Amino acid sequence: MRGFRIARVPLQGDVMPHADLDLPTQGRIVAGEHRFALRVYFEDTDLSGIVYHANYLRYMERARSDMLRQAGIDQRAHQESGGGAYAVTALNIRYRAPAKLDDALLVVTRLTKVRAASVDIHQRVMRGGEILTEADVTAALVGAAGRAVRQPRDWIAAFAQVMGEGVTTSGDQRS
């Protein structure tokens, strides 16, 4: 075929010069907010090209998980050791404007309160400077028995350090 070039596929042992580009997307923490960029794909939309409402929750969940990773919290190891996992216990969401196919979005996450067993989180899904959707989320650390358990002390310290002084804590934060 004319006009097409076949890219050389690296063989085992070859080193690719931009291997770091092959890592999953991750957000970053700026001025006490976690910022997570994503793109709207066809699978995210309904037949009219508008993002299906439940997909905003998926975007926010990805951003929250990435925020924890950026804060140095290893959810998987904690869960596998029997320490529990976060579960959403309250959610208040407001849809303001629709996202559309191929939009570049930014999920902005800010912790607003840290308690012994839970965190309050405010999230905004934005397109440029426009807020499309925002939510207030409470996530509790739930143990294997299905009951809330105290968050590890080092997690609470990580939240305070990484997310800044805008985070308030209440209650006894023993580990």
The Cβ-side half-sphere exposure at 31, using a 13 Å CA radius, reads 1
- The residues that bridge with 123 in the sheet, in sequence order, are 109, 135
Q: Using alpha carbons, select from 101, 112, 40, 26 the residue that is nearest to residue 70.
A: 26
Cα–Cα distance for residue pair 152/62, rounded to 1 Å: 22
Q: Using alpha carbons, select from 97, 99, 94, 96 the residue that is nearest to residue 45.
A: 99
Instruction: Single out the catalytic residue among 20, 46, 66, 102.
Output: 46
Judged by phi (left if over 0) then psi (alpha if -120 to 50, else beta), residue 155 lies in alpha
Cα–Cα distance for residue pair 93/123, rounded to 1 Å: 9
Q: Residue 120 catalytic? A: no
The residues that are catalytic are: 46
